[in-house]
């Protein structure tokens, strides 16, 4: 018998079967509607997973509406509503709508809190997810309710340890939030303790030389920098840099350039100008040809090199690095103002070295660019500099001529 015929006969039997007085009647239309709504809710979940944006918020709003129908109209499991409120709260949190996120997460929390102890244990664990995201809302709250954020995070951590154990990887995320809260409250010692706890968990799972360890070391460097402990900050940034060097295998070398710029800045703060310059040059030499950086990134990096170089009072080296920046900037019609200012810098170096003609040549190039871009203020400043230098040259020539004439007499 064909499947369709069999189905037809089964339906006939259902229609012809006598209904017992005590048996509940099945509303097949209702079952069909419920099934369709559940399918839509699941599709929205799948579509929104790992996504961020206002369109995702709109999808989550739809999910909440369907979940309300499931629970309030058809009496389905309250977990549909709890998860819908949570998902919408997180969607708002992802686009930094903190008040809206807080409202929906609180709704989820209250519904989940009312579940009896006999209810599904997974929903008790789900409460941790709600609490963690609530603490993020309070962390970013414009009203500055860091104390509430801390209380919620500590409660989440306690619950998480109870369910999963002291060393479970999920504790690391909560330690990270606590570190952010303590950093914002300027409790730097506590923030560092939180990150150290996080580091230990990740080290056990992923090993010392891992992306997780590199990122935490970088975070610790940032906190030490905020605390004004520059040498400690350098130590942890260097640690992060060295781990990244070992583990990068996908061509993502940008992180090394960013850390080297930060290290250069920090070395300069403690007047270690040699390392400030050499860190940048080493990174450029070792990894510069391994990635294709944008013109903007190359220019920013070269400016950092010039800044580090200027601390060493090496005029020839400073001239060399400025000339490199000019070559980078000439590759594009953008950043003309930066190009002109760099030309002024080069001209000034030549003038200080008493190479007057070269110096004036670069000043004239800068003046022309300022004129083409309608920057009258900068053009006038350079023009004044040119006039002053030319007057000096003329005066020196006149004095030199007078001396010669006197000697000939």
Question: pLDDT tens digits for 4-54?
Answer: 434 434 344 434 444 445 555 567 788 889 999 999 999 999 999 989 999
| Same domain membership, residue 136 and residue 35 | yes
Residue 402 has pLDDT above 60, yes or no: yes
Q: Are residues 316 and 352 in the same domain?
A: no
pLDDT digits (tens, 9 = 90+) for 104-138: 999 999 998 887 555 566 787 889 999 999 999 99
pTM (whole model) above 0.85: no
CA dihedral 353, 359, 362, 367 (to 10 degrees): 130
- Which CATH number belongs to the domain containing residue 131 in this structure? 1.25.40
Shared domain check, 102 and 125: yes
Q: What is the Cα–Cα distance from 253 to 275, expressed in whole angstroms?
A: 20
Interval 202-228: pLDDT, tens: 999 999 999 999 999 999 999 999 999
pLDDT higher than threshold 90 for residue 100: yes
136 and 57 within one domain: yes
Domain that holds residue 296: 253-333
Q: What is the DSSP letter of 20?
A: P
Residues 6+ apart with CB under 8 A from 116: none
Residue 122, in any domain of the structure? yes
On whether the CB atoms of residues 101 and 92 are closer than 8 A, the answer is yes
pLDDT of residue 292 exceeding 60, the answer is yes
For residue 218, give the H/E element and its range.
helix 211-226
Residues 325 and 342 in one domain: no
User: Do residue 321 and residue 347 come from a single domain?
Assistant: no
Domain boundary among 117, 140, 163: 140
- Domain final residue pick, 106, 122, 140: 140
What total of structural domains would you count in the chain? 3
pLDDT of residue 409: 60
């Amino acid at each position: 018998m064909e499947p369709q015929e069999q189905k037809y006969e089964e339906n006939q039997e259902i229609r012809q079967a006598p209904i017992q007085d005590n048996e509940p009647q099945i509303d097949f239309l209702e079952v069909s509607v419920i099934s369709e709504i559940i399918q839509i809710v699941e599709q929205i979940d799948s579509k929104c997973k790992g996504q961020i944006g206002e369109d995702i918020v709109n999808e989550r709003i739809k999910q909440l509406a369907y979940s309300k129908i499931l629970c309030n109209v058809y009496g389905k499991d309250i977990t549909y509503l709890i998860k819908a409120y949570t998902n919408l709260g997180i969607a708002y949190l992802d686009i930094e709508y903190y008040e809206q996120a807080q409202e929906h997460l609180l709704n989820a929390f209250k519904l989940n809190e009312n579940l009896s102890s006999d209810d599904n244990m997974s929903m008790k664990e789900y409460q941790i997810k709600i609490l963690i995201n609530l603490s993020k809302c309070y962390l970013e709250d414009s009203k500055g309710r860091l104390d509430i954020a801390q209380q919620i995070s500590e409660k989440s951590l306690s619950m998480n340890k109870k369910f999963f154990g002291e060393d479970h990887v999920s504790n690391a995320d909560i330690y990270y939030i606590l570190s952010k809260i303590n950093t914002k409250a300027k409790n730097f010692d506590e923030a560092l303790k939180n990150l150290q706890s996080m580091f230990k968990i990740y080290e056990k799972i992923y090993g010392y030389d891992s992306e997780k360890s590199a990122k935490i070391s970088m975070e610790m460097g940032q906190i030490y920098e905020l605390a004004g402990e520059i040498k400690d900050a350098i130590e942890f940034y260097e640690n992060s840099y060295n781990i990244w060097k070992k583990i990068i295998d996908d061509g993502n070398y940008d992180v090394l350039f960013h850390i080297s710029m930060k290290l250069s800045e920090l070395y300069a703060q403690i007047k270690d100008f040699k390392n400030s310059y050499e860190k940048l040059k080493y990174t450029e030499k070792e990894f510069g040809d391994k990635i294709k950086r944008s013109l903007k990134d190359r220019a920013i990096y070269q400016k950092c090199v010039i800044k580090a170089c200027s601390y060493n009072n090496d005029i020839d080296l400073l001239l060399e690095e400025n000339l490199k920046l000019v070559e980078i900037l000439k590759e594009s019609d953008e950043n003309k103002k930066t190009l002109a200012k760099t030309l002024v810098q080069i001209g000034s170096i030549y003038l200080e070295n008493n190479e007057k003609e070269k110096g004036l040549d670069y000043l004239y190039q800068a003046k022309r660019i300022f004129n083409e871009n309608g920057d009258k203020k900068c053009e006038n400043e350079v023009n004044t500099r040119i006039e002053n230098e030319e007057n000096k040259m003329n005066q020196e020539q006149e004095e030199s001529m007078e001396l010669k004439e006197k000697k000939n007499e």
